C-alpha cells in the first residue's frame, strides 16, 4: 500500500501546484511583452517608450550598441512597412538574479510593403526589471531580420555514425520508385546555416515542393575532414563553405552541384530563393 499512498500524495501535490500556477497567471514580464507586441503592431512610439526603463542597455545586430530612440524608431517603423501581424514565441525564460527576468524570443512579422504579404523573423532577448513598481525593459538585444525562421535549437542533423554512402544508395532507390531526384546536402552539426536551411525545408512554404520532387540526404563533412571523397565525386567545392547541395538523378548521375555558395548563407535567403532552386532542378516531368 505504501507505493500507492506515495503516488497519491505526489499526484495531489502536483494538482495543488498546478492550481497555484494557474491562479498566479503568467509572469508580469510575459504580460508586458504582450503589451509591447501590441504597441509595435500599432506603431505606437509613445506607448513603446513608456515600456522601457531608465537608461536601458540596447544592442542591435552584431552586438552593436544602440540607444532607446533608435530602437523605438526601428520597432514603430514596421507599421509604415505594412505590418499586418506580429507574434512572439518565448523560447526560453531565465532569472539570472532576483527580480531580473529575461525572455529569449522569436518574432514572426507579416508585412506587405510594396507587394503581397511576406513573413519576417527576428530573434531577440528582452530583460525585464521592476522599476517604481512596474516591470520595465532594461535590456534588449535583437538580431538581423531574416526571411527564414531560425531553429529554436540545433538538433543532430548530421549523426556522427551515419554511413553516407549507404544512405545515398537507399535514397537513389527510393527516388527511382517515386520518380524523384536526390538532393545531397553537405554540412555539419556545427554549421548554423545548415540548421536554418533544414528548418526551411520543413516549413509549410517549402516542404510540399521539396518532398514531392526530392529525397534529401545529409552528408556530414565533420571538420572538413569527412566524406571528402563524396564531395569530390559530386563536384562540391567544400572550400567555399556549407551547406552546399548536389542533385542526382535516380541512376546516380550528377545533375548539378552548387559551386557559387547558393545555400552557404542560408540565413540571408528568402523562401522564394529556395523554391526557385527546387523548381529549376526538379525532375523534368514535373516542370
Summarize pLDDT for 79-102 with one digit per residue, the tens: 999 999 999 999 999 999 988 999
In a domain? residue 3: no
In a domain? residue 7: no
pLDDT attached to residue 23: 41
User: For the purposes of burial, counting CB atoms within 10 Å of the CB of 254, is it exposed (0-12), middle (13-18) or buried (19 or more)?
Assistant: middle
In a domain? residue 5: no
Q: What is the pLDDT of residues 128-165, one digit of tens each?
A: 999 888 999 999 999 999 999 988 778 899 999 999 99
Residue 246 CA: distances (Å) to CA of 81, 159, 181, 191: 37, 19, 10, 18
Cell of 178: 517515386
Q: What is the mean pLDDT of residues 228-253?
A: 97
Q: How many domains does the chain have?
A: 2
- Assign 247 to helix, strand or coil: strand
Q: What is the pLDDT of residues 21-67, one digit of tens each?
A: 334 457 889 999 999 999 999 999 999 999 999 999 999 998 999 99
Q: Return all residues near 202 (Cβ < 8 A) that are at least 6 apart.
A: none
Q: What is the mean pLDDT of residues 4-24?
A: 40
The pTM (predicted TM-score) of the whole model is 0.83
Residues 84 and 179 both lie in one domain: no
Q: Which domain holds residue 244?
A: 164-286
- pLDDT bucket at 13, cuts 50 / 70 / 90: very low
In a domain? residue 159: no
Strand positions, DSSP E, the chain: 52-59, 65-66, 83-97, 100-111, 118-131, 134-142, 181-187, 214-220, 244-248, 254-257
| CATH number of the domain encompassing residue 175 | 3.40.30.10
pLDDT attached to residue 114: 84
Amino acid at each position: 500500500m505504501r507505493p500507492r499512498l506515495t503516488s497519491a500524495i505526489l499526484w495531489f501535490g502536483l494538482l495543488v501546484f498546478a492550481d497555484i500556477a494557474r491562479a498566479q497567471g503568467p509572469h508580469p514580464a510575459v504580460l508586458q511583452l504582450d503589451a509591447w507586441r501590441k504597441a509595435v503592431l500599432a506603431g505606437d512610439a509613445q506607448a513603446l517608450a513608456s515600456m522601457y526603463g531608465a537608461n536601458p542597455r540596447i544592442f542591435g545586430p552584431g552586438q552593436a550598441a544602440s540607444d532607446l530612440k533608435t530602437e523605438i524608431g526601428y520597432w514603430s517603423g514596421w507599421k509604415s512597412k505594412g505590418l499586418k501581424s506580429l507574434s512572439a514565441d518565448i523560447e526560453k525564460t531565465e532569472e539570472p538574479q532576483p527580480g531580473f527576468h529575461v525572455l529569449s524570443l522569436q518574432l514572426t512579422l507579416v508585412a506587405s510593403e510594396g507587394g503581397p504579404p511576406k513573413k519576417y523573423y527576428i530573434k531577440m532577448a528582452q530583460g525585464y526589471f521592476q522599476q517604481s513598481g512596474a516591470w520595465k525593459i532594461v535590456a534588449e538585444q535583437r538580431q538581423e531580420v531574416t526571411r527564414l525562421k531560425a531553429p529554436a535549437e540545433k538538433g543532430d542533423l548530421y549523426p556522427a555514425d551515419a554511413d553516407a554512402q549507404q544512405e545515398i544508395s537507399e535514397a537513389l532507390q527510393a527516388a527511382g520508385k517515386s520518380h524523384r531526384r536526390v538532393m545531397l546536402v553537405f554540412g555539419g552539426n556545427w554549421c548554423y546555416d545548415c540548421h536554418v536551411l533544414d528548418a526551411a525545408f520543413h516549413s509549410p512554404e517549402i516542404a510540399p515542393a521539396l518532398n514531392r520532387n526530392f529525397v534529401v540526404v545529409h552528408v556530414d563533412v565533420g571538420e572538413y575532414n569527412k566524406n571528402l571523397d563524396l564531395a569530390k565525386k559530386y563536384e562540391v567545392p567544400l572550400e567555399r563553405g556549407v551547406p552546399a547541395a548536389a542533385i542526382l538523378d535516380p541512376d546516380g548521375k550528377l545533375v548539378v552541384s552548387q559551386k557559387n555558395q547558393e545555400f552557404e548563407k542560408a540565413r540571408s535567403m528568402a523562401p522564394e530563393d529556395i523554391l526557385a532552386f527546387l523548381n529549376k532542378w526538379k525532375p523534368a516531368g514535373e516542370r
